[in-house]
Chain A
Amino acid sequence: MPTVPYHPYEGDSDENKKKSSNSIIRSINRSCRRLQNKIGYKIISLKTGLLATFVIVFCIFWFGDNVINSNLSSSFSTSGLTNNPDSKLPKDLINHGKTSWFSFNKPPKIVIILAANEGGGVLRWKNEQEWAIEKISIANKKAYAKRHGYGLTIKDLTTAKRYSHEYRESWQKVDILKQTFREFPDAEWFWWLDLDTFIMEPDRSLESHIFSRVDKLVDRTLKSFNPLGLEVDIPFVDYTQDMDLLITQDCGGFNLGSFLIRNSDWSKLLLDIWWDPAGYEQKHMIWEHREQDALETLYANEAWIRSKVGFLPLRMINSFPPGACSEFSDDSRYFYNEYARDFVVNMAGCNFGRDCWGEMSHYATLMAKTNRKWYDRLFF
């Protein structure tokens, strides 16, 4: 008998156990399902909103990537040159948008060279306005370089005895470039800026403004704009090569107030060739703009140089205030246009009868005005 109740009991308890375990599972299942349903319904009710957010985020990443990525690669990979091993794709430039998020300590790929302290007060006193201009100009480039992760090096243009002749002084620029090339061996591009320049659109990166569409912007053949009347077609010029020097032309010829030069063997060779006493001997009374004229002559006659030079429209990186190139005041190609939001203004020659300080403070104020954001109003 004792065994009789035991078995059914056991069976019973087993069943009970099963039942109870089943019920636990079921209740878990049920709550799971409820939860799932709740989430499901939430998703159903919010799906349009979610989809819209996803699409917007996707678009931001897609287009944001594109500006830097695809255009850059297309513009730089056009070169079909085989016998120039140095012209490789600047990969770091292409991936700039991506890598800069993670790499804070990497050497900059673009370095701005700012030529400051012109004259350095050696031959005459530096007045307070000059000090102020210098301060504003440096602050402007510093903020720009910081914003986009570029390097900035400020170079001293003090008049020095080693440039014993006034004519030779202009080649200080070349010496500074050589020095900076050694200083930043990992940089891809250098952007030379004179002190009298002002970046008017600091939120524009050089990648999006220049490099991503450089092929569309540049004129390499001088056909569209040739103020010097140089020979357009010279032998041995190979336009399939990558450009290593991006400069602008103003009404009087090449303008070296703001230009971009790639860190390459070609550039080093150009900097080396640029100064030659044979040129000085023949031309120091003729070449008014010294190193600019020397470069013009090299460009005019030597195909290896012409093959790698591109001319940007002046207003891309070097627009003028109305005082410069005043004989051509109707030509809109030269002058800063507030409504077109030109990138950089170069107050070239402002110390020849114009008011440097006036121009600098005008453009600094204008920059603050044009770059005012809607949320600035909340604070002021």
Chain B
Amino acid sequence: MTLKPKSNDRSRRPSNSWPLGLPPLTNVKKSWRKRNAKNLIIPFVTLCLLLLYLFSGNFKKRNVTKKPYPAVHGVYHNEIPASSNLIFPQIEHSALLKDIGVRGLYILRLESDGDKRYVLKPEEKPLSDEEKKKITSQTLLVKKSFLDHGKLVYRKSNSPETVVVTLIDFENYELDTLVSIVQNRVDYAQKHNYGVYIRWIQEFIPLLENQNLNESGSFAKSLIMRAAMHAFPNAKRFIFIDDTSLITDFKLSVENNIMNSNILDMASLKDTPVSPNSAIRTYNNLDFSKVSIVFPHNQNDDISTSTFIISNDIYSRAFIEYINDPLIKNFEWENLAHCIGHILQWHPEILAKTAMVHSKFISSSYDPNFLKTEKPDTVHYTEGDFIATFPYCKDINSCNKDITSLYNSLKENKK
């Protein structure tokens, strides 16, 4: 006797509809037939939109069309991948190169203003090995290998962290000296798994406005540093060591014994005029873990460029490229150090990333007489220093003798 409403309760009738108004399956066909095309448009559009939404992620990735920008290249448009991270020229060519002379290596172009300038051909393609075999003239082979050396770039995955950079000169050095210089860098680099980037200073003549190396040769240092940054794009830092210097203590590493923020803090000159008599002084509270550039002061309290360190970051890149800007490079500076002094005084953003260090820290001047008699100071070399340099050897023309003798004595000490 339960109450059973007959016709009122429509929910009991399965034929009509389900509670939420959805037709049961049996009715789908009927309703499907009933519907005309007009009613189907909106569900269809919805379905399309849903599918489009779900797959739009895939479409977009394909749709992003990057503009084809030219790849980074150095001074030369064509480059040769280097097989080893030790990039140095064939030193045995030095005598022949000296014979050929700079005049024979480059084209001398007469400018409209009557100036004669050596010019570089950036588009020139490097010689392939086969072409090299075909060349019979030793002179031409030496010339080509000289012109191709700058095209070497290291692009392998296991990039060295530090690269030792040096400029060598075939006009003023004998073969023995050149071998000592290069061997010294290579031995040191191999011990610490560093890279080496050595080039002839004569390779940079066409890039200098004043093409007399005796006057503007120091600016080749900033040019080679930029080239080194390009040759080793994944290295962290680059240490330039002048050809009048030798690494004397192979145990010291750049990242642990030089760029370590605590050591750098102790070695650096704080609140010291950037150049002699300058009103601009080095910062007192530098964050040494963020230092990008390291320069030593020489005994005259001026900036020395015999050894310096730059990092592979925006500050060093800007600093080096700013020096290399013709507007700056071709100004009447006495030398590179004068130019750097100016830049550090006028551009606080760069000075804030620069550590000025005592000469002895990365560039001790070597004086055999001093070694015997005087007490150690912050300038002169004593045993255990990282790098020894002969700051005046070029003036008295004793570089060849000084370097080979120091190199040989270092070799003996090691034995």
Contacts and interface: CB of A to CB of B under 8 A. Distances in A.
A4 to B, nearest CB: 24
Contacts of A117: none
A215 B328 contact: no
B69 A43 contact: no
Most A CB contacts (10 A, CB to CB) among B8, B60, B321 go to B321
A351 interface: no
Contacts of A132: none
B342 A233 contact: no
A273 B322 contact: yes
A48 to B, nearest CB: 6
Interface residues of B, number: 56
Interface stretch (A135-143, A296-304, A324-332): A296-304
Interface residues of A, number: 60
Interface stretch (A151-159, A161-169, A188-196, A237-245): A237-245
Given A48-B39, A55-B45, A37 B19 contact: yes
A185 B318 CA distance: 22
A38 to B, nearest CB: 9
A33 B21 contact: no
Interface string A10-50: 00000000010011001000100100110111111000100
B266 interface: no
A70 B349 CA distance: 35
A233 B233 CA distance: 19
Contact of B314 (A70, A269, A283): A269
Contacts of B19: 33, 36-37, 40
Contacts, number: 139
B74 A236 contact: yes
B74 A221 contact: no
B10 interface: yes
B2 interface: yes
A285 interface: no
A83 B312 contact: yes
Contacts of A43: 20-21
Nearest to B345: A277
B331 A302 contact: no
A78 B45 CA distance: 34
15 contacts: A26-B2, A33-B10, A36-B11, A37-B17, A40-B20, A40-B22, A42-B21, A43-B20, A51-B43, A215-B67, A221-B69, A235-B122, A273-B349, A276-B346, A278-B331
B49 A236 contact: no
A308 B15 CA distance: 71
Interface of B: 2-3, 5, 8-11, 17-22, 39, 42-43, 45-46, 49, 53, 60, 64, 66-67, 69-70, 72-75, 122, 226, 229-230, 233-234, 312-315, 317-318, 321-322, 324-328, 331, 342, 346-350
A298 B20 contact: no
Given A74-B60, A236-B226, A238-B72, 18 more contacts: A30-B9, A36-B19, A37-B21, A55-B46, A83-B233, A83-B313, A220-B67, A220-B69, A221-B69, A240-B72, A269-B318, A276-B328, A278-B342, A283-B327, A297-B325, A301-B325, A301-B327, A302-B321
A23 B66 contact: no
A115 B53 CA distance: 45
A303 B321 contact: yes
A58 interface: yes
A282 B331 contact: yes
Interface string A248-275: 0000000000000000011011001101
Contacts of A215: 66-67
A340 interface: no
A22 B3 CA distance: 9
Nearest to A48: B42
Contacts of A37: 10-11, 17, 19, 21
Given A269-B349, A278-B342, A304 B70 contact: no
A304 B314 contact: yes
B21 A301 contact: no
Q: Is the interface of A mostly helix, strand, loop or mixed?
A: helix
Nearest to B12: A33
A86 interface: yes
Interface string A200-227: 0000000000000001000011000000
Nearest to B122: A235
Q: Which 7 A-B pairs have the closest CB atoms?
A: A40-B21, A239-B69, A272-B349, A33-B11, A36-B19, A301-B325, A44-B21
B37 to A, nearest CB: 13
Contacts of B322: 273, 302
A86 B290 CA distance: 13
B233 A272 contact: no
Contacts of B350: 269, 272
Nearest to A82: B234
A235 B342 CA distance: 25
A355 B146 CA distance: 63
Given A43-B20, A78-B66, A84 B314 contact: yes
A55 B49 contact: yes
Contact of B73 (A74, A84, A235, A281): A235
A106 B64 CA distance: 32
Nearest to B339: A278
Nearest to A77: B64
A283 B8 CA distance: 99
A368 interface: no
A103 to B, nearest CB: 27
Contacts of B328: 276, 278
A9 interface: no
Interface string A54-71: 110011001000000010
